[in-house]
Amino acid sequence: MCKFVSNLSYEEHYSPDVCLERKNRQRLALAAYAYEFKADSIMSDDEFDKLSLKIRPQMKTGNELIDKFYREQFHPDTGQWIHDHPELNKVAAIYYMYKNKNKKGLIRIGSTIYRLVGKEN
């Protein structure tokens, strides 16, 4: 059985705005990791820049460690912040799953499947 752990109420944790922010942060972290550590552009510079500008560092998402990181170290004009990501090992694991297991541009994070690169089915 899973225990719900968050610094937000259940309703806040699963609100559409918070879910979108978590998704955007995850996609951006994955793209930054791919580019900075693997010289692999999994999204265009334009897509990366647009997504970076959608990030709301002050928004609480239920994960205080990640929320603090985005408030204090995230900069939308570069991907260098990924080097200090507190869950870099998780980002790396997702990158390897993405590159080695799924050729359709989809990846599962938790119970949600995300399209990462805009590929058509």
Tell me: the pLDDT tens digits for 9-22?
A: 777 777 889 999 99
pLDDT at 94: 86
Half-sphere exposure of 99 (CA within 13 A, CB side): 16
Question: What is the band of 108 on the pLDDT scale with cuts at 50, 70, 90?
Answer: low
Each residue's pLDDT tens digit, 58-89: 999 999 999 999 999 999 999 999 999 999 99
Answer left, alpha or beta for residue 24, where phi above 0 means left and psi between -120 and 50 means alpha. alpha
User: Could you give the CA distance from residue 39 to residue 61 in angstroms, rounded to a whole number?
Assistant: 29
Q: Is the pLDDT of residue 121 over 90?
A: no
> Rounded CA gap, 26 and 107, in Å?
11
118 is written with which tokens?
Answer: 């805009």
How many CA atoms lie within 13 Å of 13's alpha carbon, on the beta-carbon side? 10
According to the model, what pLDDT value does residue 83 have?
97
The arithmetic mean of pLDDT across residues 99-115, rounded, is 64
Tell me the residue type at 79.
Answer: G
In this prediction, residues 87-109 reach a mean pLDDT of 76
